[in-house]
A and B are shown apart, each in its own frame.
Chain A
Amino acid sequence: MSGAMTDSSLSAPTAPPPRAAPLPPAPRQLGRVNWLGLWTLYLKEVRRFLNVVTQTVAAPVVTALLFLAIFTLALGRGTMQVHGLPYALFLAPGLIVMTMLQNAFANTSSSVLISKVQGNIVDVLMPPLSAFEFTLGFAAAGVTRGLLVGLATGLAMLPFVPLGLNDPIAVLWYAFNATLMLALLGLIGGIWAEKFDHIAAVTNFVVVPLSFLSGTFYSVERLPEAWSFVAHFNPFFYLIDGLRYGLVGVHDGDLALGAVLVGLVNLLLWALAYRMVASGYKLKP
Chain B
Amino acid sequence: MEKATAAGAAWRRPRRHGRIFWPGLWALYRRELHRYLRFAPESLGGALVSALLFLAVFSVAWPDRLQLQPGVPALSFLAPGIAAYALFHNAFENAAFGLLFDKLEGMLGDILMAPLTPAEILAGYVAAAASGGLIVGAVVLAGLALFVPLPLASLAAVAGFALLGALLFALLGFLTGLWAEKWDRYAVVDTFLVMPAALLSGSFFTPAILPEAGRLVLQANPVFYLIDGFRAGFTGVAEASALLGLAINAALAAALALLAWRLLRRGWKVQS
B195 near A217: Cβ-Cβ < 8 Å = no
Q: CA separation between A71 and B200, bound complex, in Å?
A: 11
Known: A52-B183, A70-B205, A213-B56. Contact between A59 and B190, CB under 8 A? yes
Q: Which residues from chain A contact B263 at a C-beta distance below 8 Å?
A: none
Stretch from A148-156, A182-190, A199-207, A233-241 contacting the other chain: A199-207
Known: A55-B184, A197-B42. Contact between A66 and B199, CB under 8 A? yes
Interface string of B194-211 (1 = CB under 8 A from A): 011001100111000110
| Contact among A55, A204, A222 for B61, CB-based, below 8 A | A222
Q: Give residues 186-228 of B contacting A (CB, 8 Å).
A: 187-188, 190-192, 195-196, 199-200, 203-205, 209-210
Q: Which residues from chain B contact A69 at a C-beta distance below 8 Å?
A: 199-200
B60 interface contact, C-beta 8 A:
yes
Write the chain B residue with the least CB distance to A55.
Answer: B187
| Contact among A54, A196, A204 for B191, CB-based, below 8 A | A54
| Contact among A63, A74, A223 for B205, CB-based, below 8 A | A74
Known: A52-B183, A63-B195, A217-B61. Contact between A209 and B53, CB under 8 A? yes
A55 near B183: Cβ-Cβ < 8 Å = yes
Q: Which residues from chain A contact B147 at a C-beta distance below 8 Å?
A: none
| Contact among A74, A205, A223 for B58, CB-based, below 8 A | A74
Q: Give residues 167-219 of A contacting B (CB, 8 Å).
A: 196-197, 200-201, 203-205, 208-209, 212-213, 217-218
A62 interface contact, C-beta 8 A:
yes
A271 interface contact, C-beta 8 A:
no
A201 near B191: Cβ-Cβ < 8 Å = no
A62 near B192: Cβ-Cβ < 8 Å = yes
Q: CA separation between A70 and B183, bound complex, in Å?
A: 27
Q: How large is the interface on A (under 10, 10 to 19, 20 to 34, 35 or more residues)?
A: 20 to 34
A205 near B191: Cβ-Cβ < 8 Å = no
Write the chain A residue with the least CB distance to B50.
Answer: A208
Interface string of B51-69 (1 = CB under 8 A from A): 0010011101110000000
A58 interface contact, C-beta 8 A:
yes
- Expressed in whole angstroms, the minimum distance between the Cβ of B113 and any Cβ of chain A is 29
B14 interface contact, C-beta 8 A:
no
| Contact among B49, B200, B203 for A205, CB-based, below 8 A | B49
B109 interface contact, C-beta 8 A:
no
A62 near B195: Cβ-Cβ < 8 Å = yes
Given A66-B199, A71-B204, A78-B209, list of 14 further CB < 8 A pairs? A52-B184, A54-B187, A58-B191, A69-B200, A70-B200, A70-B203, A73-B210, A74-B58, A75-B58, A201-B45, A205-B49, A208-B49, A212-B53, A218-B61
* A interface residues with partner B (beta carbon < 8 Å): 52, 54-55, 58-59, 62-63, 66, 69-71, 73-75, 77-78, 196-197, 200-201, 203-205, 208-209, 212-213, 217-218, 222-223
| Listed A/B pairs (26) with beta-carbon separation below 8 Å | A52-B187, A55-B184, A59-B190, A62-B192, A63-B191, A66-B195, A66-B196, A71-B57, A73-B209, A73-B210, A74-B62, A74-B205, A78-B209, A196-B42, A197-B41, A200-B42, A200-B45, A200-B46, A201-B45, A204-B45, A208-B49, A212-B56, A213-B53, A213-B57, A217-B57, A217-B61
